[in-house]
Amino acid sequence: MALPREYTSEDCAIARSLEVIGERWTLLIVRDAFYGVRRFSDFHAHLGLPKAVLSERLTLLVDNGVLAAVSGPSGRDWYELTPRGQRLWPTVWSLITWGNENFYESSSRRTYRHAECGGMIDRDRVCKACAAIPEPGDLVVHPPKNPRNTREDPISVALRRPHRLLRPLTPDP
């Protein structure tokens, strides 16, 4: 029996948030959207979740204004973060930082740099070079020196190169 998605007995902002982003795979979809994943097929290939689950999660995120379905270059739908979805960046960053500090050696971590000045971003999202707190679109993600992921899907391959967040990773064929 599946657990309910709603926390009807909880009058709490965390419970309301979890109803949207708390299901399995949902935050990984949001993370990939920050990395620049746009197409259903790329989310599917990179995350490896069942298509029905991906479709359900994307619909939930669109219905709640976290993602928008927009027409890609070939007319097929792409998904992109809305301003509401982009406001999840501090939460995603906190999870990245917590995971790095507790589960990864420094050589197997992605790093993030401020696109404007090239400075490293610290755990509090502050650029070490200019002291700014860059927006996600002003960050460049760099691959780890010793990656643990050796998958060959297009997104995993693209993430082996520095890439600016929120920019599409793969062209629409």
| CATH code of the domain occupying 13-85 | 1.10.10.10
What is the number of residues in the chain?
173
Comparing 1-10, 30-39, 122-131, which segment has the lowest mean pLDDT?
1-10
pTM recorded for the entire structure? 0.90
Q: In what order do the strands lie in the sheet with 163-164?
A: 111-114, 139-142, 163-164
| Average pLDDT over all residues of the chain | 90
Residue 79 backbone phi and psi in degrees, to 5: -115, 135
Query: Is a pLDDT exceeding 80 seen at residue 48?
Result: yes
Query: Is a pLDDT exceeding 70 seen at residue 7?
Result: no
Report pLDDT digits (tens) over 69-112. Answer: 999 888 888 999 999 999 999 999 999 999 999 988 777 799 99
pLDDT attached to residue 166: 97
Q: How far is CA 57 from the centre of its chain?
A: 14
pLDDT attached to residue 2: 57
Domain with CATH 1.10.10.10 in the chain: 13-85
- If you average pLDDT over residues 1-17, what whole number do you get? 73
Query: Is a pLDDT exceeding 90 seen at residue 30?
Result: yes
Report pLDDT digits (tens) over 59-72. Answer: 999 999 999 999 98
- Percent with pLDDT over 90 in the chain: 68
pLDDT attached to residue 6: 73
Question: Regarding beta strands 77-81 and 67-71, do their DSSP bridges make them parallel or antiparallel, or are they unpaired?
Answer: antiparallel
